[in-house]
Every structure is written in C-alpha cells, then in structure tokens.
Homo-oligomer: A and B are copies of this chain.
Amino acid sequence: MPDDLQIDIDRGSPVPLYHQVAQAFEQAIREGRLPPETKLENEIDLAKRYNISRPTLRQAMDKLVRDGLVVRRRGVGTQVVGPRVRRSLKLSSLYNDLRDSGVQPTTSVLTFETVVSADEVADRLGLPAETEVYHLRRLRSIDGQRLGIMENYLPLSVGTLTRESLEQDGLYNVIRRQGTDFQMAHQTVGATVATADQAELLGVSPGSPLVTVQRTALDSSGTAIEFGDHVYRADLYSYETTLMNR
C-alpha cells in the first residue's frame, strides 16, 4: 500500500519538522485518506521522501503512537489503527464533541472571593497554612444546557483575576495572559451523587450521578497554580483516555 500522501514541509517555519510531519499524518488519518489497517512505508523510505533524517521522522511517529493513531511492530511495520477505538461510546463525550465542533461553552461566576485557605487546599497548592487564596465557583453550560459546577483555588501570585475576565474567557486563558504557563496537571476522576444544592444548580434530581474531577495544575517551574474540585452531570460528561503499554 504505497503512499501518495502529499506533505508540504516548511523548513522556514518555527514549527518543528517532526510536528509538521505528525500533524500531516494525523490529518490524513482523521480524514480517511489513510484508512484503518493501512500499512505505512518503512521509516527510512519515509524519511527520504520528506527529506528529513530518520530520527526526526521517528519523533513524528512516536507522537502518532502516543496519540493512539498508529501501531508499530518491530520486524513488521507501522499500521493505521482502526477507527472504532477512536470513537466515543454513547453520547458520553458530548462536551468534547461540541467544543470540537466549534460550540463555545459559557461560564457564569457564582462565587468570586479571596479566602484564607483550609489546610487541605494550602497543602495541595504547596502554600503555608492559612494563606490567602482566590476562591471561585462557576457554573459551566453548553448550548443552554447546564453541564457542571467548578470550584477552584489559586494562589494570589497567579496575577489579578476579576469576575469579568472569568465570565468572558476560560480560567486558563486568563492566567496564561498574565504570563504563567500551564505545564502539567494531575487529575483524579470519580463519581458521586448530586446533593440538593448541586441538583438545583444543574437542573437534575437530587441523587443523580455526577462525575467528579479533582485537579492540581503546575506551571513550568513546577509550582502549583491551581487546585480544582469539579462535578459534572454524568449524562453529559465523561472522561476519555488512551493507555499505552510502556
């Protein structure tokens, strides 16, 4: 199965070559130009074809493997993974589906204040006990549908937050604009049932299932910049991941 795949590489671009190549393959796969089961050319020929070195091409392939788009086997080759594993079950990923199709989620700020942090919050953020922190509580909706309640704690050092900026833009965008850059986060996903308060805010019956997400986010220096404790309606939200073996 030969490749008539056209890839334009712009060596003047600030975008790394391996990223350009990976992106081109990803697009081709998602558009069906490289159907499932397709066997790709071997690494050496592909590298020649695109006039890049083999290590650079491999870096691109590594990315595709990590994203679950292709599978490699030593002695055999590289194959495009079937689409069924890239599809979501039931309407679970409505949230991502909608956002990816260009529908913007809206956010209303329920609470915006600074508080003296509880011990657990201070600990999570790596701050001394009883430090003052931002505390916010927001209701996220999509298309008029109430989706979840998000509660966040942030050190004052992230910069100036205002109710208005948070209504207009995502929390991370507001923070990024002030110079702190999100680097990684640790998340715990679980389940609970709606309390009376939560049920009323979300427009569901008390006792309805909710997905819980607790997240600590770090900036590029490894400093904690946010602790979030969120609940989402289980019928509208679920969490998807790809696991790799090694």
Given contacts A191-B209, A192-B191, are A222 and B79 in contact (CB under 8 A)?
A: yes
Number of copies: 2
Contact code string A116-129 (vs B, CB < 8 Å = 1, else 0):
00000001101000
B184 & A222 in contact (Cβ 8 Å cutoff): no
Whether, in the assembled complex, A158 has its beta carbon less than 8 Å from a beta carbon of chain B, the answer is no
For A241, list chain B residues within 8 Å (CB): 186-187, 189, 241
Within 8 Å by CB of A184, from B124, B220, B221, B242, lies B242
Whether, in the assembled complex, A238 has its beta carbon less than 8 Å from a beta carbon of chain B, the answer is yes
* Cα separation A36 to B208 with both chains bound (whole Å): 41
Whether, in the assembled complex, A210 has its beta carbon less than 8 Å from a beta carbon of chain B, the answer is yes
* Cα separation A63 to B71 with both chains bound (whole Å): 19
For A37, list chain B residues within 8 Å (CB): 222
Whether, in the assembled complex, A114 has its beta carbon less than 8 Å from a beta carbon of chain B, the answer is no
Given contacts A71-B183, A193-B207, A245-B183, are A218 and B85 in contact (CB under 8 A)?
A: yes
Whether, in the assembled complex, A234 has its beta carbon less than 8 Å from a beta carbon of chain B, the answer is yes
Whether, in the assembled complex, A136 has its beta carbon less than 8 Å from a beta carbon of chain B, the answer is no
Interface residue count on the A side (C-beta < 8 Å): 57
For A88, list chain B residues within 8 Å (CB): 188
Within 8 Å by CB of A209, from B123, B183, B192, B239, lies B192
Given contacts A193-B207, A238-B189, A239-B239, are A84 and B184 in contact (CB under 8 A)?
A: no
B216 & A191 in contact (Cβ 8 Å cutoff): no
Whether, in the assembled complex, A240 has its beta carbon less than 8 Å from a beta carbon of chain B, the answer is yes
Whether, in the assembled complex, A86 has its beta carbon less than 8 Å from a beta carbon of chain B, the answer is yes
* Cα separation A208 to B181 with both chains bound (whole Å): 39
Within 8 Å by CB of A234, from B79, B85, B191, lies B191
Contact code string A78-92 (vs B, CB < 8 Å = 1, else 0):
011110111011001
For A238, list chain B residues within 8 Å (CB): 188-190, 212
Whether, in the assembled complex, A211 has its beta carbon less than 8 Å from a beta carbon of chain B, the answer is yes
Which of the listed residues A93, A190, A222 has the most CB atoms from chain B within 10 Å of its own CB? A190
A-B contact pairs, 22 of them (CB 8 A): A68-B184, A68-B186, A76-B221, A79-B221, A82-B126, A82-B222, A84-B123, A85-B224, A183-B244, A184-B245, A186-B243, A188-B239, A190-B211, A190-B234, A190-B237, A190-B239, A191-B192, A191-B209, A191-B210, A192-B234, A209-B209, A212-B238
